[in-house]
Amino acid sequence: MQHELLRGVSCVINAEWLRQLLWFKVVSHSLRARRAELLTAPSWSSQASRSGTAAMGMRASRQIFPNWFCILWLPLLLRAISCSPLPATELLPPAALPSGLSQGQTCVGCVLVVSVIEQLAQWHNSTVKAAMERLCNYIPEKLQGFCYVLAEVYGPHIAELIDREMNADVVCHSLKLCKQDPGQPLCHLYPPPKVGLSAAIWKAKKILKNSKDLKRTVGVPSLCAFPLLADLCERIKYVLRSKLPFEDFDGDKFSTFPTLRGYHWRGRDCDDKNTTVYPGRRPDNWDVKSDSNCNGIWGVDPKDGIPYEEKFCKGADSQGVVLLGDSAGAHFHIPPEWMTVTQMSAKSFANLPMAFTDELDWPQFSEITGFLNSTIGGWTDSLYLRLRRRNRCNHRDLQNISQNGGSSRNLLGLIKSLARNQLLDNPAIVIYATIGNDVCNGNRDTLAHMTTPKEMFSNVMQALRYLDSRLPNSSHVILTGLVDGRFLWDNLHNRYHPLGQLNRDVTYSQLYSFLNCLQVSPCSGWLTANETLRNLTSERAEQLSNVLKEIARTQKFSNFDVFYMDFPLKQTAEEWHKMGGEPWQLIEPVDGFHPSQIAAALGTGITWQKALHEWPQVLGKENPFNDQIEAIFKDQGGH
């Protein structure tokens, strides 16, 4: 499942002219200081990343990372997941991709940024210029170059128009960052000015028509065209497409680095120089001399000479957990304080670099693979944490193989990043959960672009056959049904979005309408005032869920059994109501689309109880040595 608001910002700061300005204003100073190192560093192609030569290159990258790596990573990431189709959509024929996508996202991003600037000036009773400087100062130093360049190029024009009481829609249309296609409506987030939106835009364009600065922002080469950065760009693009760790010296698909598809997404590697050491494998010689599976348990008990791994983990039904999913499973989240000026500060944006290098996802807090205490509200509870408590030998055996925009169609490509050796590794519990994108798209004829039941059956069966060729025997697969997204409109449409809370002028209904007009809505079928269309979308979602249910009932595989469960939205809402909560709190406040941190944690408990009572064999037995493991090995090496 995708989000368009920040994707729109992405396209604004990913313009070709901005890359060039960033090169001269931000990157070049650091590169000159490291030029000799870069010229002698080896190529970082995807093939070389699996060799010792690549390891040398990666070590060089660590030395220059604080200075400019984020600056380079950010535009490439945003280009991959925002302005151009998601990497997974490259698997689809061109006809399946919506037209004009980046143009609409650029418009959303512009309206968002201008709105925040305007509200900052209002809240702090300052000039617009001071508000832009304040916003740039909030952003971490590694990324401030983007903000300063935007402020330099667009700032004077934004300030002039805001000072003339023109709203964000008018400003962005006059800057040509929002465009009206022939025969299409004039899209806007805010109520039109009294003189009319078209008249206001004409007046604003007349004010700006003699601007020379805006005419110089075309025809500049890409940042990646520079020879010094070409190889690094290719390596980053490879990571974005493959969903494999950027920093993986031994090529075992596990990393010691948290983001860039590192250990936030899959168990932390405990030896990144040895391809035979990684989370989830069966122990090598009972790990007498070293920890081959990274669960923190190794060595020999001096009292009886029995290896600890054999004593505590033999016959313990050790297994890992793997999620195959979309942005809900990856736990897409945009902190509301990023656009709520009454809460905005430098502290609000401290996690911005990490968020971008995790693709605006937070898998470390997610419902299936979360393992860290939440810092984004709510609390963390996950299937992985419960499996680890049930059997301490399961430590670090997790993989979150999800992507923003994941569906049954593009998951066939994503699944190839699974790290599991059928002969050497422990079995796994695989959660297949693409809960919305098979019915969600931003097209005006949204029903025509939904996955059909026949396509769903074919897509899922292909994925399951692939899993059967990769998963160790005695694994399990749980197919999760699609969500009933009518819950979103019913509980949010008349509430104020974070962007509209200061002046009480932007509701979720307005936001949804704006995104639908631009054809960049994450789900035109559910995020709409058209009740008939919402019902038809849910009807198709139920049909696709029934396909999954029938597969679980009738299909057999050699290396795993298959189960089905409905997406537990209704039970989650009931549980939250008992705790005194409101339904809208179960939805991400910024995008108005994804499950919140609270919903994820509550959903874990519901899933666990269902498995415990109906499929206890899936969870395995409780390890009687858990207390001894904890006493001897403490946190088993940490995460």
Q: Are 111 and 6 in contact (CB under 8 A)?
A: no
- Which residue out of 10, 255, 318, 327 is catalytically annotated? 327
Question: How many other C-beta atoms can be found within 10 angstroms of the C-beta atom of residue 607?
Answer: 23
Residue 507: alpha-carbon gap to chain centroid? 24
**CA-to-CA distance for 441 and 350, rounded, in angstroms?**
32
Give the residue from 441, 364, 412 showing the smallest Cα distance to 2: 441
Q: Are 380 and 374 in contact (CB under 8 A)?
A: yes
CB half-sphere exposure, 135, CA atoms < 13 A: 30
Three-class secondary structure of residue 430 per DSSP: strand
**CA-to-CA distance for 601 and 19, rounded, in angstroms?**
40
Q: Are 405 and 86 in contact (CB under 8 A)?
A: yes
**CA-to-CA distance for 263 and 372, rounded, in angstroms?**
11
Q: Are 400 and 366 in contact (CB under 8 A)?
A: yes
Active site residue 327: yes
Q: Where are the alpha helices (DSSP H) in 555-578?
A: 569-578
Three-class secondary structure of residue 332 per DSSP: strand
Q: What angle do CA 561, 567, 570 make, to 5 degrees?
A: 140
Residue 300 gets which letter from DSSP? B
Q: Are 248 and 255 in contact (CB under 8 A)?
A: yes
The tokens for 32 are 């000159």
Alpha-carbon torsion, ordered 606, 589, 136, 158, to 10 deg:
150
What are the b/e assignments for 210-231, b being 16+ CB within 10 Å?
eeeebeeeeebebbbebeebeb
Per-residue DSSP letters for 339-369? S-TTT-STGGGTTHHHHHHTTTB-GGG-TTT
Three-class secondary structure of residue 587 per DSSP: strand
Q: Is 283 exposed, middle or buried (0-12, 13-18, 19+ CB in 10 A)?
A: buried
Residue type at position 594: H
Q: Catalytic site residues?
A: 327
